[in-house]
Structure 1
């Protein structure tokens, strides 16, 4: 069996580029600009600066992302556990998502936490989101305390949120 060195070299180049793209240093925000707004599915404009004083989570997701859909029950359970703590979850659907599909997913999955749609892509750009799900835990001062690409482990996420609530 003869090795195709040209094919292996091309494959290695593709893998190298993908690795660089996914793991290169983050250029996204380290502190949430107070003027950032997001439009919720309920038609409200939510100013992220107004959330300062309590920690919250921004999670970028898509209706077409299997990992995102799988993570919804984890987020919903956390949201229920944290009721009354001041912690808030904001699920931000990607610009390419269709509003009717976002609403259908929200209804089907029983999402009671805030769901928004980044129709313009401004938040995706500001936070340098490259894959879904990507989540940001924001501390009470408005700083990014944690960034996670991929699904959260439920116990790890809950512990990080509890730590944020302690200050």
Structure 2
């Protein structure tokens, strides 16, 4: 054995240990649900709703914009989802992004008769606290204990979303 091979004999076991450690960290981070941030939404009607006040309910928080084609496309299904589950305790907050003009949001809400709370994130603080949301639509499903159980970037697959909502409402 040469000096160069004997000095590397520790290398493969060390790499294996690092890979196993990182794999363990990865598994741990996916098995525990992060808590939803403690924020207060201010609706377009001036109502204040905090994530704390929504504890005990299953909550959907949808970040969207009137200029987002996918957001506009998915909104009728978001309305249907809310209408289907609101009687069982689902709450829904649609958060318009900071760059969305308030008059556009108000007009969209009124013309589409959105039945849930619509808030405007005028300073961008709520999007930041939810993990720097920049892509729309981004939707979070939060369980009764205030834990984020699913984050959807883009339009969710609604049948799978409905199954998850039903499971959480039953729990």
TM (normalized to structure 2)?
Answer: 0.77
Which residue of structure 2 lines up, in the alignment, with residue 40 of structure 1?
Answer: 43
Which consecutive unaligned segments of at least 5 residues does structure 2 have? 1-28
Maintained 8 Å contact 1:72/1:109: no
Which residue of structure 2 lines up, in the alignment, with residue 125 of structure 1?
Answer: 128
Deviation at 1:74, TM superposition (A): 0.4
Deviation at 1:33, TM superposition (A): 3.3
The answer on 1:141 being equivalent to 2:154 is no
Q: Look up the SS of the partner of 2:88 in the other structure.
A: coil
The answer on 1:157 being equivalent to 2:161 is yes
2:35 alignment partner, one of 31, 34, 41? 31
Which residue of structure 1 lines up, in the alignment, with residue 107 of structure 2?
Answer: 104
Output the CA distance in 2 between the equivalents of 1:160 and 1:109: 26
Maintained 8 Å contact 2:42/2:120: yes
Maintained 8 Å contact 1:55/1:87: yes
Deviation at 1:153, TM superposition (A): 2.1
Segments of 4+ moved more than 3 angstroms: none
Which residue of structure 2 lines up, in the alignment, with residue 82 of structure 1?
Answer: 85
Deviations, residues 55-106 of structure 1 (Å, cap 9, x unaligned): 1000100010000000110010011111311111110000011111001111
Q: Look up the SS of the partner of 1:82 in the other structure.
A: helix
Q: Which has the higher helix share?
A: 2
TM (normalized to structure 1)?
Answer: 0.79
Superposition RMSD in Å = 1.5
Q: Look up the SS of the partner of 1:96 in the other structure.
A: coil
Maintained 8 Å contact 2:64/2:137: yes
Which residue of structure 2 lines up, in the alignment, with residue 60 of structure 1?
Answer: 63
Q: Count how many residue pairs are aligned between Structure 1 and Structure 2.
A: 139
